[in-house]
Chains A and B, each alone.
Chain A
Amino acid sequence: MTTLQQPAAVDRTARASLKRDRRSWTGWGFVGPFVAVFALVFLAPIAYSIYLSLFQDRLIGGNTFVGLDNYQQALQDDQFWSGVTRVGLFLAVQVPIMLGIALLVALALDSGRLYGKNFFRISIFLPYAVPAVVATLMWAFMYGTRFGLVGDINDAFGVSLPDPLSPDLVLASIGNIVTWEFVGYNMLIFYAALRVIPHSLYEAAEIDGAGQLRVITAIKLPAIRGALVIATIFSIIGSFQLFNEPSILKPLAPNAITTDYTPNYYTYTLSFNGQQHNYSATVAIVMGLITMVVAYVVQLRGMRKGA
């Protein structure tokens, strides 16, 4: 028996290895197109940016390899760090407000006690469908103290509202625009997460005599923790990449919004006005790393609490 079994076993392993061989090639065939596109549109630009960041192209002296000099300069660049601080402040104030409002609206919709629920949902979501550029132009017009809405209010009521585009208020004004744009989007994420909570839990809570507030804190919020973390991470990335709003408001508030207002706007200025493509790439990479670290820390914290 044993003598008969052996060849069969060898045959099986040989066939298996042959199969595995063929399978590994088939796998590459499927993954190949993705890998090629991924390398071309994701990895290549990053690699090229890193390559650029190691050089310095001067008006006098031409292109030279400078190693990590650009990184050293970026880490000591006051203009860059003032931009980082600004978006950090923006993140700390605007994101909690925006997510708070979004959560409130989502819970209100989910409570089922709202009249005209669909209309309400659509109208909250609508601003997200407006392109950021158009939204900013629209708000910029309203912010106008001379011929805009603020100006009209001043004239009609004989008051003098502070200029929303003055240096002290412009960041808050941008925060207002961004909140208006993205409350609907975040509301939708929360609402979708709330909808998948099994109704049996609510019934059980009702039997136990829990009120609405208790249901929210004990069932709904823990259940959508994942969605909250995701929305927070998206918002962090969005805040750090702030660009559209300041660049569109710049012509209207040229002295309140500097060319290094946000890190992204700073890289834009460096690249398109200053021809400093190399340093611009460096700043972009450093900012990308900062964003990654912050987003990762938030994710770790959010998930650990959930466990």
Chain B
Amino acid sequence: MPKKTRRLLGGIGLVCALALGATACGGSDDDGSSGKKVSAGDIQAALKKGGSITVWAWEPTLKQVVKDFEKEHPKVHVNLVNAGTNKDQYTALQNAIAAKKGVPDVAQIEYYALGQFSLTKSVTDLSGFGADKLSKTYSPGPWNSVKSGDKIYALPMDSGPMAMFYNKKVFDKYKVAVPTTWDEYVDAARKLHKADPKVYITSDTGDAGMTTSLLWQAGSRPYQVDGTNVKINFSDKGAATYTKTWQKLIDEKLLSPVTGWTDDWYKGLGNGDIATLNTGAWMPANFVSGVKNASGDWRVAPLPQWTKGDKATAENGGSSLALPSAGKNKELAYAFVEYANAGKGVQTRLKGGAFPATTADLQSDAFQNTEFPYFGGQKANKIFAESAANVGSGWSYLPYQVYANSIFNDSVGKAYVSNTPLAKGLKGWQDASVKYGKEQGFTVSE
């Protein structure tokens, strides 16, 4: 009985909290934990006093950052825990928050998943901690991803401005020009596949992350999110631009039917069967470790454009560090996040191979002039940095993007294996996302 009562009370409490949250969104009042003013002095005092914090993250470069941070602040102990990678960690975090037990002080959350946590106020608004002064520190893509109105829910850790990786050896062999627009891309796909039926311009079996990124680049803004009001619509002009071109690649069977991150995929990248890869700037480390045998074959080029002469790009992947609301040591936690994502930790992480979200590092000579032996000595960071500066604004993900992505292939996937047009597949995805949103209590319009 008491358990039941407690559950009931908990339920009522949650409803109240959400109601409060909703009013906080609409009005200007403050809801306790978030928006609290914490001065730099408070943070310094907390660092002097010491204590211990728990950090949930899977990003490997943080290990060294933790060591350096503890050296600088001997009284602070940082407990770095790998609670699983992306989806697994989100489930664990969601459960910890629901149980109000074992919630970490800091958690790594990818940009596309942050909305799910900020919406329910499960992460702390950092604007009162001094994060509001960091707007110029980060490049616009990642900064917009952690910001919602005047609230800042995390500090960007890395980013994934998109570029086109291409196998120069293959392009040279068949004397095909490297495409700069998507129309040229389709042409190149035809030429390469005609020259050798085993060669495909790229592999694609339907990948939610890549599709949304290319829609983003094409100017489509399928998701509009305002608190619990969500609008989902894949029929804007940008989406039509994307489906028109991509439909050609599908219809003419110019896409290799190999799913990303499988053995076949790595083999295809290595032996030249897959000629290009459009993805985030975090990819090079994966090339070095996963496609060793093709070292020197690959180069980096700007992402092909929808309109000739444009420079539009988008983000693909990337993550941030956030402070769960139920975490205890907020001052110390923020001190760590700031150190790792805006302070000295950034340099440490760059050395470890991470791709920065900070403008200063993106523009520094040392970073831009780094030569990549894997790409034949190319200064690839120049291309990535330029891409980072040209990420289209106004994009947002759904507050339940993790789930939406998991059902992407149920609807859009049909376009890849049957006669269903891509646009119809996207409509199907839209319907399923709308249905789920309504079931979860959102006000969804189309």
Contacts and interface: CB of A to CB of B under 8 A. Distances in A.
Partners in one complex: yes
A60 B119 CA distance: 9
Interface in A264-304: 269, 272-276
Interface string A59-87: 11111100000000000000000000000
Interface string B1-43: 0000001000100110010000000000000000000000000
B406 A62 contact: no
A147 B441 contact: no
A143 to B, nearest CB: 12
A167 interface: yes
Contacts of A254: 205-206, 259, 409, 413
Contact of B413 (A63, A147, A255): A255
B414 interface: yes
A202 B410 CA distance: 57
Interface stretch (B47-55, B261-269, B347-355): B261-269
B437 to A, nearest CB: 9
B262 A251 contact: yes
Contacts of A63: 7, 11, 14
Interface residues of B, number: 39
Contacts of B406: 259, 269, 273-274
Interface in B200-233: 205-206, 228
Nearest to B87: A273
Contact-residue bracket for chain A: 20 to 34
B417 A166 contact: yes
B407 interface: yes
B418 interface: yes
Given A59-B120, A63-B11, A146-B264, A259 B407 contact: yes
Contact of A258 (B14, B91, B409): B409
Contacts of B439: 58, 276
A261 to B, nearest CB: 9
A219 to B, nearest CB: 51
A245 interface: no
Interface in B229-287: 258-259, 262-264, 267-268
A126 interface: no
Contact of B416 (A146, A147, A255): A255
A160 B102 CA distance: 55
Contacts of B174: none
Given A144-B264, A269-B406, A273-B406, A59 B442 contact: yes
Interface string B383-407: 0000000000000000110110011
Given A58-B439, A62-B15, A255-B205, A167 B407 contact: no
A215 to B, nearest CB: 50
A252 interface: yes
Contacts of B368: none
Q: Which of A59, A167, A251, A258 has the most CB of B within 10 A?
A: A59
A255 B409 contact: yes
A107 interface: no
Q: Which of A64, A258, A260 has the most CB of B within 10 A?
A: A258
A256 interface: yes
Contacts of A64: 11
Nearest to B116: A59
Contact of B410 (A258, A272, A274): A258
Contacts of A274: 403, 406, 436
A287 B305 CA distance: 50
Given A147-B264, A275-B403, A61 B18 contact: yes
Nearest to A258: B410
Contacts of A260: 410
Contacts of B418: 167
A62 B14 contact: yes
Given A64-B11, A166-B417, A273 B407 contact: yes
B163 to A, nearest CB: 25
A209 B316 CA distance: 79
A166 B94 CA distance: 36
Contacts of A146: 258, 264, 268
A147 B271 CA distance: 12
A282 to B, nearest CB: 13
A255 B441 contact: no
B119 A255 contact: no
Contacts of A251: 259, 262
Nearest to A256: B417
A151 B406 CA distance: 29
A272 B86 CA distance: 13
B205 A59 contact: no
Nearest to A163: B257
Contacts of B11: 62-64
Contacts of B289: none
Interface string A152-180: 00000000000000110000000000000
B364 interface: no
Contacts of A144: 264
Contact of A60 (B7, B18, B417): B18
A67 to B, nearest CB: 16
Nearest to B411: A258
Nearest to B441: A60
Contacts of A272: 91
Given A58-B439, A147-B267, A259 B410 contact: yes
B251 to A, nearest CB: 16
Interface in B43-65: none
A124 to B, nearest CB: 30
A62 B21 CA distance: 13
Contacts of B417: 166-167, 255-256
B403 to A, nearest CB: 5
A61 B417 CA distance: 39
A154 to B, nearest CB: 12
Contacts of B267: 147
Interface of B: 7, 11, 14-15, 18, 87, 91, 94, 116, 119-120, 205-206, 228, 258-259, 262-264, 267-268, 399-400, 402-403, 406-407, 409-410, 413-414, 416-418, 436, 439-442
Given A62-B14, A254-B413, 13 more contacts: A59-B399, A59-B442, A62-B15, A63-B14, A146-B264, A146-B268, A167-B418, A254-B205, A255-B416, A259-B406, A269-B407, A273-B87, A273-B406
21 contacts: A58-B439, A60-B18, A60-B442, A61-B15, A62-B18, A63-B7, A63-B11, A64-B11, A167-B417, A254-B206, A255-B205, A255-B409, A255-B413, A255-B414, A255-B416, A258-B409, A258-B410, A273-B87, A273-B406, A274-B436, A275-B403
